[in-house]
């Protein structure tokens, strides 16, 4: 019976392939296909529903239902049995459909006489394309063999849809990769850019989903899997026995486990026996795995899905010969589109070569975000799971990093509005250029120090052009993230020395290694933590792995080579952590002195204030710290208990909230009592209105991305801090939750 089913399945797929080859319109192909499936499956009805937009399915072809319903019957995702199959990505098999949960009666189709219903999703690698439906008068559940045959057919229909076989009139029959699309993600780096898509990993296109010779295809599959296994084994051999490579070995061991999985191979061989080509069999199993594991709440299962995805893509490239290097030329004004990307791969691009980045995954604190900020290009993270499958190399794309929005193939209305925004920003930057040599002095004579943030040597030329007085934060983790092994002390010393050279005597604040949370070293075992942002990270890692901290501190001391050295420790939550870290630096300075090495002419040792707890530390902490930098990004999310990666809560709490401003004021006052210099570092420092209000609360130093120095300086030079403070105080006394409305009203009176 199984052999007979496989034979019938192969015959049907062969007929589908012949239909694909015919020189006919898309609607005619669809009509022929439903007729073939109905005949082969011996059902009275076969229908194909395709998405006309992300939320709406449309009946596009039918054999057995009323033809007048074609392109007229529509339903929302999740509506009816068809919508349920599409939404859940699972087969809906009902013997008595009218009595089934969620059944929707559509009188125009004439389907009331049909009892049994089987709906199979038409998906391609997580991309929902439609639903294949068969129905019969007899009240019966379709057998496992019949359902499997329909899944195989649905796989071929997905590939035919991808190849444009059903293009015709109407929304649902429009060619794929041609519609304007909007993707909403999380703003990882502000700014706007217009350009053309450059895919980090162009997807493999399966042009031969159907094959006539199962034996030959099975041999092709086995040969390709053999090559895959050898490559994984070679990668495992190349990993040394050094403990730092353990996490890398764990990933490769997972790869090897999948590559040697008999159940994985058996399912693909069964797909080939049913009539699929080797490539289509691999892609079918990949799509099914995404459906099974994609919604799993267990992070371990989601990681295994990513392993299987990577492995399947490698196998597809072996089978098709389509490598990641496709021969395509990088387009003009490239905007990188990727599922995710590592720091080393990202840094392979030269500074200035990319105009923006859009990632399906990632976070605002990831290494990609750090590089994007360093390059001053817009970045969107968590942009959904479809942009890499929907975009094609060279597609027109507009990226709004301010709003976390990407417009793929935008229409003329969007293009016009977007270009107006770009022009306005460019005009504003021209205005700020004249302020480079001028100090940030308010109308009442208060001097505000403005510094820039950096993480790459390539950013240092911005120091002169931005008008910043120095580097208020140099992130040192990029030199660790962009390597496969721990960097040597001599390498780090050379990098830090070049940073000081480029600063040309201006102050540079080096923040020690800030890893953990979403910044994981490729050679360090990832800790399975329920909440990494509150877990083993930054100074906690440094104090536990003293060898790494000491090595970095030695590199900083040697890089100074007689020049001033400023070191800042991240994520300090209590006095003892700062005291211990500070002592490590003093011990290393003493060690260098005994070795006869040149010591820094001056050493400043400070800390970031990112946790509310350290704001309430004993007075001795403030007396011991040479300076304090408020880390606004982390501090705000901990203050409001609102994850900045969570769109549902992060926008709920305003930076100019009365409670938060009062807390900033308390920190400024405590530092003033002990004469401890304090600055504010983070995204909010680069927002002119926020910086103005913080200055009114008593802060006199800010560190921000280079492009923000001009706008902040421009506003500060126009206002009187005493007037701003009076506006804030009146707002606080009135009982409002945020002072933003009152401040903006006052700002309008100043500009009128």
Query: Which residues belong to the active site?
Result: 367, 681
Q: Give the CB-side neighbour count of residue 287, counting CA atoms within 13 A.
A: 26
| Residues making up the chain, counted from first to last | 752
* CA nearest neighbour of 316 among 208, 392, 390: 208
Sheet holding 186-189, edge to edge: 181-184, 405-408, 396-400, 192-199, 334-338, 356-359, 379-381, 186-189
Distance between CA 589 and CA 605 in Å, rounded?
A: 12
Residue 568: name the closest of 508, 510, 495 by CA.
510
Q: In whole angstroms, what is the distance from residue 571 CA to residue 578 CA?
A: 10
Q: Which of 440, 414, 425 is nearest to 719 (CA)?
A: 440
Q: Enumerate the β-bridge partners of residue 609.
A: 630
Strand partners, 51: 57
What is the C-alpha to C-alpha distance for residues 456 and 370, in angstroms, rounded to an integer?
A: 9
Phi and psi torsions of 471, nearest 5°: -105, 110
* Of residues 475, 559, 472, 482, the one with CA closest to residue 511: 475
Instruction: Count CA within 13 A, CB hemisphere, residue 385.
Output: 10
State the Cα–Cα distance between residues 475 and 509, nearest whole angstrom: 9
Candidates 19, 6, 92; CA nearest to 49 is 92
d(CA 496, CA 455): 11
Tokens of 729: 């105080």
Q: Where are the beta strands (DSSP E) in 558-697?
A: 565-569, 603-609, 627-631, 678-681
Q: Which of 447, 441, 14, 446 shows the shortest CA–CA distance to 211?
A: 14
Distance CA 580, CA 461 (A): 35
Of 364, 394, 392, nearest in space to 378 by CA? 364
Strand partners, 607: 569, 628
Residue 427 burial by Cβ neighbours in a 10 Å radius (0-12, 13-18, 19+):
exposed
The secondary structure element, H or E, covering residue 216 is helix 214-238
- Phi and psi based region of residue 213 (left: phi greater than 0; alpha: psi -120 to 50; beta: remaining): beta
Q: Please name which of 203, 307, 206, 188 lies closest in space to residue 257, comparing C-alpha atoms.
A: 307
Closest CA to 661 of 629, 695, 638: 695
Count the alpha carbons within 13 Å of 331 in the hemisphere toward its beta carbon: 20
State the DSSP code for 341: -
- For 339, phi and psi rounded to 5 degrees? -70, -50
Beta pairing, strands 379-381 & 186-189: antiparallel
Q: What is the largest CA-CA distance in the chain?
A: 95
Q: Name, in order, each residue with C-beta under 8 angstroms of 552's C-beta and a sequence gap of 6 or more.
A: 476, 492, 512, 513
551 φψ region: left (φ > 0), alpha (ψ -120 to 50), beta (else): alpha
**Contacts for 49 with CB less than 8 Å, ≥ 6 apart:** 57, 58, 59, 60, 75, 82, 86, 130, 131, 133
Q: Are 618 and 580 in contact (CB under 8 A)?
A: no
């Amino acid at each position: 019976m199984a052999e007979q089913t496989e034979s019938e399945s192969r015959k049907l797929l062969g007929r589908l392939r012949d239909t694909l080859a015919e020189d006919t319109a898309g609607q005619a192909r669809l009509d022929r296909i439903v007729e073939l499936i109905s005949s082969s499956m011996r059902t009275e009805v076969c229908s194909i529903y395709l998405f006309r937009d992300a939320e709406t399915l449309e009946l596009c072809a039918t054999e057995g239902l009323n033809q007048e319903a074609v392109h007229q019957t529509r339903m929302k995702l999740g509506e009816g049995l068809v919508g349920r199959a599409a939404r859940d990505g699972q087969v809906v098999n009902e013997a008595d459909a009218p009595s089934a949960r969620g059944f929707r009666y559509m009188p125009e189709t004439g389907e009331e006489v049909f009892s049994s219903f089987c709906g199979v999703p038409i998906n391609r690698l997580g991309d929902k394309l439609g639903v294949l439906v068969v129905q019969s008068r007899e009240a019966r559940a379709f057998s496992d063999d019949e359902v499997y045959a329909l899944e195989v057919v649905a796989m071929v229909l997905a590939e035919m849809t991808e190849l444009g076989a059903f293009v015709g009139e109407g929304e649902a029959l429009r060619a794929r990769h041609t519609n304007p699309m909007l993707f909403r993600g999380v703003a990882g780096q502000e700014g706007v850019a217009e350009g053309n898509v450059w895919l980090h990993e162009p997807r493999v296109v399966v042009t031969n989903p159907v094959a006539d010779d199962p034996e030959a295809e099975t041999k092709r599959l086995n040969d390709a899997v053999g090559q895959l296994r050898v490559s994984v084994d070679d990668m495992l051999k190349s990993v040394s026995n050094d403990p730092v490579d353990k996490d890398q070995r764990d990933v490769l061991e997972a790869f090897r486990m999948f590559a040697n999985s008999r159940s994985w191979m058996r399912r693909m061989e069964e797909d080939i026996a049913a009539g699929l080509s080797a490539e289509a069999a691999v892609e079918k199993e990949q799509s099914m795995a995404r459906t099974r594991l994609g919604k799993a709440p267990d992070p371990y299962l989601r990681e295994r899905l990513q392993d299987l995805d990577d492995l399947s893509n490698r196998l597809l490239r072996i089978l098709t010969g389509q490598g990641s290097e496709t021969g395509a030329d990088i387009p003009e004004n490239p905007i990188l589109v990727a599922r995710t990307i590592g720091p080393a791969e990202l840094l392979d691009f030269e500074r200035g070569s990319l105009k923006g980045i859009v990632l399906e995954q990632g976070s605002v604190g990831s290494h990609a975000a750090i590089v994007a900020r360093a390059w001053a290009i817009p970045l969107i993270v968590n942009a959904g799971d479809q942009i890499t499958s929907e975009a094609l190399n060279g597609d027109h794309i507009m990226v709004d990093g301010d709003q976390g929005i990407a417009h793929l193939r935008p229409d003329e209305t969007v293009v016009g509005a977007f270009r107006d925004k770009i022009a306005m920003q460019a005009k504003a930057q021209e205005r700020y250029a004249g302020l480079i040599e001028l100090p940030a002095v308010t109308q009442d004579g208060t001097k505000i120090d403005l510094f820039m943030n950096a993480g790459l040597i390539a950013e240092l030329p911005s120091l002169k052009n931005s008008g910043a007085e120095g580097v208020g934060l140099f992130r040192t983790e990029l030199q660790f993230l962009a390597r496969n092994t721990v960097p040597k002390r001599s390498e780090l010393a050379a990098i830090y020395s070049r940073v000081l050279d480029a600063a040309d005597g201006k102050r540079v604040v080096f923040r020690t290694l800030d890893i953990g949370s979403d910044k994981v070293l490729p050679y360090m075992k990832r800790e399975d933590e329920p909440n990494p942002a509150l877990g083993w990270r930054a100074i906690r890692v440094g104090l536990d792995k003293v060898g790494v901290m000491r090595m970095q501190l030695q590199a900083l001391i040697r890089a100074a080579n007689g020049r001033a050295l400023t070191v800042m420790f991240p994520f300090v939550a209590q006095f003892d952590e700062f005291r211990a870290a500070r002592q490590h630096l003093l011990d290393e300075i003493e060690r260098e002195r005994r070795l006869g090495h040149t010591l820094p002419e001056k050493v400043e040792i400070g800390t970031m204030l990112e946790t509310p707890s350290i704001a309430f530390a004993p007075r001795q902490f403030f007396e011991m710290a040479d300076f304090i930098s408020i880390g606004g990004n982390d501090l705000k999310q901990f203050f409001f208990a609102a994850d900045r990666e969570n769109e549902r809560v992060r926008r709920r709490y305003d930076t100019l909230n009365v409670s938060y401003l009062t807390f900033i004021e308390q920190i400024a006052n405590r530092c003033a009592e002990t004469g401890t210099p304090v600055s504010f570092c983070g995204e909010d420092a680069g927002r002119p209105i926020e910086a103005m209000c913080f200055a009114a609360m008593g802060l006199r130093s800010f560190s921000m991305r280079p492009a923000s120095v001009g706008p902040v300086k421009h506003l500060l030079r126009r206002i009187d801090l005493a007037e701003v403070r009076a506006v804030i105080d009146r707002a606080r006394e009135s009982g409002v939750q945020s002072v933003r409305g009152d401040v903006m009203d006052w700002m309008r009176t100043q500009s009128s």
